[in-house]
Amino acid sequence: MPHLRKISAIVSSLLLSFAAHAGKLSIVIDDFGYRPTEENKVLQMPPAISVAVLPNAPHARDMATKAHQRGHEVLIHLPMAPLSKQPLEKDTLTPEMSSAEIERIIRNAANNVPYAVGLNNHMGSKMTSSLFGMQKVMQALNQYNFYFLDSMTIGNSQSVPAAQGTRVKVLKRRVFLDDSQDINAIRQQFTRAVKLAQRDGYAIAIGHPHPNTVRVLQQMLPTLPADITLVRPSQLLNEPLRSGHAGSKPVNPPPARPEPHFQPPGECKTQQPLTPVPATRALDVVGESLRQSPLFTTLEKLF
């Protein structure tokens, strides 16, 4: 019996150590409020998957409420001015706006997206690269208990310096899942996000409720490696040197990418049929991941 208790204590200690060093992956699905059919599929995924709701979308309040009821973290997906010339959502923030106008837009957005705990930018390369503009945004956000998730649509985003002197914490996305809507490209981006989380301890990936993105998540979430934990963005706010709060710099800042034109519902077509992943294959993958984990290696040496 003492021998068994000793083994149990060792295993428990190793499990706690393994969990503490697991990579944290946060996935946020933007543009909620326009595509209820695909969005409802996202809401059937693990509650750690978070959603960002466009405040003036026709189904904004309904989808935000439904997401909250199912345990998902809700963000406001606030339109901000891009450098490119393209059609803009209603109440898109621009650097030239007054503080009062920015406060009004954020107040309305908070009313339209109930249960929000954070805010991220829709487009925004012009706005987020303006220190003066983002300072007004952070001052407005300081009246709420929101964090700011920077979608990093431009490399010289000013969100971190703009947040100095406020209570607003800043996170930065690392990977865009679906710049290309080719299903294989989305799989590659998902794998890249997992590897970044394993290497750096965490990663935030952003996607959209496109049919192929939904299919990839349905396929690949059950096959996540054992050393990866799905988390909400708010669970990363206290990560040392990674939250971007008060001027701290994230590990390996993510590259910016050209902002895509906003695609209204119905324009995203499935390019190829989905091949289902059998349950037995999913279990094999998880088992293989466990066998390759540090915990399994240590236990093999002990026994």
- Contact between 57 and 64 under an 8 Å Cβ cutoff? The reply is no
What is the spatial distance between Cα 30 and Cα 261, in angstroms, rounded to a whole number?
14
Torsion angle defined by CA atoms of residues 252, 253, 257 and 261, in that order, rounded to the nearest 10 degrees: 130
Compute the half-sphere exposure of residue 222: CA atoms within 13 Å on the CB side of its CA: 13
- Reported as a single tens digit per residue, the pLDDT across 199-253 is 999 999 999 999 999 999 999 999 999 999 999 999 999 876 443 433 333 444 4
Query: Which residues form the domain of 262?
Result: 22-302
What mean pLDDT do residues 157-164 have? 98
CA end-to-end distance (rounded Å), the chain:
17
Task: Note whether residue 9 is domain-resident.
Answer: no
Phi, psi of 257 (to 5 degrees): -145, 155
Domain count, the chain: 1
pLDDT at 16 over 60: no
CATH label of the domain that carries residue 207: 3.20.20.370
What mean pLDDT do residues 258-262 have? 49
Task: Note whether residue 13 is domain-resident.
Answer: no
Task: Note whether residue 75 is domain-resident.
Answer: yes
What mean pLDDT do residues 137-165 have? 97
Task: Note whether residue 10 is domain-resident.
Answer: no
pLDDT at 278 over 70: no
- Contact between 27 and 205 under an 8 Å Cβ cutoff? The reply is yes
Task: Note whether residue 235 is domain-resident.
Answer: yes
What mean pLDDT do residues 33-46 have? 98
Task: Supply 86's token pair.
Answer: 């393209």
Higher pLDDT, 134 or 271: 134
Task: Note whether residue 113 is domain-resident.
Answer: yes
Q: What is the pLDDT of residue 181?
A: 95
Higher pLDDT, 86 or 166: 166
Task: Note whether residue 12 is domain-resident.
Answer: no
What mean pLDDT do residues 46-66 have? 98
- Reported as a single tens digit per residue, the pLDDT across 97-132 is 999 999 999 999 999 999 999 999 999 999 999 999
Question: Average pLDDT over the chain, rounded to whole?
Answer: 82
Query: Is 0.85 surpassed by the pTM of this model?
Result: no
pLDDT at 45 over 60: yes
Q: What is the pLDDT of residue 22?
A: 79
Task: Note whether residue 292 is domain-resident.
Answer: yes
Higher pLDDT, 86 or 203: 203
Higher pLDDT, 197 or 299: 197
Sign of the C-alpha dihedral computed for residues 123, 250, 192 and 20 taken in this order: negative
Task: Supply 69's token pair.
Answer: 């009821």
